[in-house]
Structure formats: structure tokens, C-alpha cells
Structure 1
Amino acid sequence: MAFKHVRAANGGLTVEEFKEWLKSFDVDGDGRIGRDELRRAIRSIGGRFSWWKSVRGIRQADRNSDGFIDDSEIENMVSFAQKKLGLKITQN
């Protein structure tokens, strides 16, 4: 998915679109997003300080402290993306 184009076209993403976009960075296919995968995602949208933001994102979203973001923690990542990455994500 061309994330930048979707964001520019409709002024934001739905939660489902955000989840699909984030899951596209799950390179090892384990169904979870790790720090390096999150870093790649942040870089893909032109985010600066991706190493630091990925550490912060995992820390904020990872409720069971396993170092990964899984399906049950995606909502926490939505909150982080809106607040710290400046993404517009709607509930529609």
C-alpha cells in the first residue's frame, strides 16, 4: 500500500487501513511488530529519529512487555501514531 498516497488522498487513514499498513512491515511473518519493523514503518513515512520513536512506540503500546506489538495491542499503537507521529487515523 502506498501509505503516503492514501494519507494525502483522503486526509487520513481508518484504523483498519493503519493496521494493514503496519502489518505490511512484519517481515518475519510472526504476526507481531518488533522494534526494527516499527522503525522501518516510521522511516517509510519520512519520520525522523526513527530509532528513538520506535523504542518509545514499543514501550507505549506493548502492554505485556514482551517487546512486540501484537493484534491485541494495535489500538495502543494507533494512539502513539496519532500523538507522536502526527498521523490522522479515524475510527471509520
Structure 2
Amino acid sequence: MAIRNATPRSLEGDMTVDEFKEWLKRFDTDRDGRISREELKRAIRSIRGRFSGWKSKRGIKYSDADGNGFIDEDEFDNLVDFAQKSLGLKIVSF
């Protein structure tokens, strides 16, 4: 499996979009199927990301197509794009 101890393999190599989504869902602490800014912040911190508060705000703004303040299932692809561009994660679609 590509994800160990809540750290994506992308720090060492590639991970698939599905692996990224599964990893991210681990941070959905209220299990509502959406990622909040605070949940995204925890995810960024888990990969030792710097400026997690600022990056999580930007990630929500970048990914949240409907403007409700959450990343819904249908907006996860936007978050994949953000993670590649702004977090330096290597995510591939196989």
C-alpha cells in the first residue's frame, strides 16, 4: 500500500489519485464526506508541510468550486491539482 502512518508515498515517489483521495479521507474527522479547512490543515501538517494554515486556506479557495467552504467529493480533483502544484506531491492517474 502506498500510504504508511498517514504519510503518502509521494514524499518518496508517486501515488495514484485514488491513493491520495483515500489518504485525505483519513482526515475527515467528522465523517461528513467533506474536507474542511481545519482537516486540510491537519493533512498538510502530517506531511510536515510548512505554513499549513496559509496553505489550507489557499487549498480550500483553489478547490472549492461551489464556495461552501468545504472540499466535497466532486471537488477532490481540484484538490489533487492544488496538492501537485502547491504542496509538491507527485500524484499520477493510473
TM-score tier after normalising by the smaller chain length: over 0.9
Q: CA deviation at 1:5?
A: 6.1
**Aligned pair in 2 of structure 1 residues 78, 13: CA closer, same or farther (>3 Å)?**
same
**Structure 2: runs of 5+ lacking an equivalent:** none
Query: Which amino acid counterpart does residue 6 of structure 1 have in structure 2?
Result: R
Q: CA deviation at 1:8?
A: 5.0
Whole-angstrom distance in 2 between the partners of 1:16 and 1:5: 12
1:7 is matched with 10
1:79 is matched with 81
Offset from partner CA, 1:8-59 (integer Å, 9 cap, x none)? 56x1110000000001100001000000000000000010000000000000
Query: Which amino acid counterpart does residue 46 of structure 2 have in structure 1?
Result: S
Offset from partner CA, 1:64-89 (integer Å, 9 cap, x none)? 00000011000000000000000000
**Structure 1: runs of 5+ lacking an equivalent:** none
Q: What's the % identity of the aligned pairs?
A: 58
2:59 is matched with 57
**Aligned pair in 2 of structure 1 residues 6, 85: CA closer, same or farther (>3 Å)?**
same
RMSD (Å) for aligned C-alpha atoms = 1.3
Q: TM-score, normalised by structure 2?
A: 0.91
Query: Which amino acid counterpart does residue 69 of structure 1 have in structure 2?
Result: I
| Consecutive aligned runs of 4 or more in structure 1 exceeding 2 Å deviation | 3-9
Q: TM-score, normalised by structure 1?
A: 0.93
Whole-angstrom distance in 1 between the partners of 2:31 and 2:81: 24
